[in-house]
Amino acid sequence: MSKILVTGANGFVGSFLCKALKELNHEVIELKSSDGNIILDETWNKIPATDIVIHLAAKTFVPDSWKNPELFLQTNTLGTVLALEYCRKHGARMVFISSYLYGNPASLPINELAPLSIPNPYALSKKAAEDYCRFYADSYKINMVIIRPFNLYGFGQSNNFLIPEIILQVLNSKEVRVKDLEPKRDYIYITDFIDAIIRCIDSHRFEIFNIGSGESFSVGELIQMIQNICGTQLPVISSAEKRPAEIMDTIADISKAKELLDWSPSTSMYNGLSSIIQQYRQAKS
C-alpha cells in the first residue's frame, strides 16, 4: 500500500477520494483548506514525505474566475507549482486533476489530442498548471498523470452547480428557473470519477486522460429527468440568458481510459440523479 497526500481533502472530490483510499488500506495524508494556503511554502514544508500526491486543491467555480482571475491563477497555477516542488523534493509521483480545456470542439466526441481552447480564466489557470506538470515530468522526471474531468456531479456538491441547483428547486419550489435550456454537457458521477483516479496512482509514465461518461444531456433534459424521478411537473422558466463564451456541447472520448486504465463509468445519468435525490430526501427527513 502507498502513502498518499491528497490536497483539497475537504472538498467535494477530496472527501470521497480519501474515504475510498482508506478503504483500500492506503495511508492518507489529508491537506485541507484549514491546514494552510497551498500557495505558501510554509504549508508544504509541514507535510511529511509521501509516495504519491493527488492534487485536487483548486478554485473551481467558473463564474467567480471572471470576477477574480488573479485568485484563480494563484491557487490553481502557483499552488500546482508548489505541489510539483514537493514531488521533486520527496521523489513522489503526482496525479493532477485538471479540467475540461477544449472550448467549443470542432467535432464530438473529444479525445485527448483535440486542440485546446481556453474560454475562461479558470480554464486558463488549469492550462498553465498542466504546462508546469509537463515541464516537471520532462525536466525533473516526475511520474505524472493528468486527468481532465468533464462535468462532475454527486451528493455533496456545492449548490452553486447546476444539478444540485435544479434538484433543490424541484424538491422545494413551485417552479424551476434556469438561464438557458440548450447547453449540453457530459456528466460523470462522483464514484466513477474516484475509481478513475485510483486506477491512475500506480502509473509510472506521463499520460493525460479524459474522464467522462461518453454522452451528453442538455439542461432541459436534466430538468425533465429530475422531475420524472421526483414525480413532479413543475413549470420550467428559462431567461434564455447566454453565458460569455458558452460551450454548447461536450462529449468525452474515453477510449484511452478504457484501454490503459481498464476503466469505464458504471453509473447511468438516471441512476446517479436518483441516488442524489434519495440522499437529499434522507438528509431532509
pLDDT in the model for residue 162: 96
Closest CA to 280 of 172, 162, 152: 172
**Residue 16 domain flag:** yes
Tell me what the mean pLDDT of segment 75-80 comes to: 98
Residue 241 pLDDT > 80:
yes
Closest CA to 149 of 224, 231, 208: 208
**Residue 245 domain flag:** no
Give the tens place of pLDDT for each residue, 109-136: 999 999 999 988 999 999 999 999 999 9
Q: How many CB atoms lie within 10 A of CB 266?
A: 10
**Residue 79 domain flag:** yes
**Residue 177 domain flag:** no
Nearest 5 degrees, angle CA 134-CA 246-CA 164? Answer: 90
Which residues have CB under 8 Å from 228's CB, separation 6+?
A: none
Pairing of strands 52-55, 3-7: parallel
Residue 53 pLDDT > 80:
yes
DSSP class of 241 = P
Q: How many CB atoms lie within 10 A of CB 49?
A: 12
* Count of domains for the chain: 1
Owning domain of residue 129:
3-157+188-214+252-266
Please answer whether residues 185 and 216 qualify as being in contact, where contact means their C-beta atoms are separated by less than 8 angstroms.
yes
Give the tens place of pLDDT for each residue, 194-236: 999 999 999 889 999 999 999 999 999 999 999 999 999 999 9
**Residue 277 domain flag:** no
**Residue 87 domain flag:** yes
CATH number of 67's domain: 3.40.50.720
**Residue 240 domain flag:** no
**Residue 208 domain flag:** yes
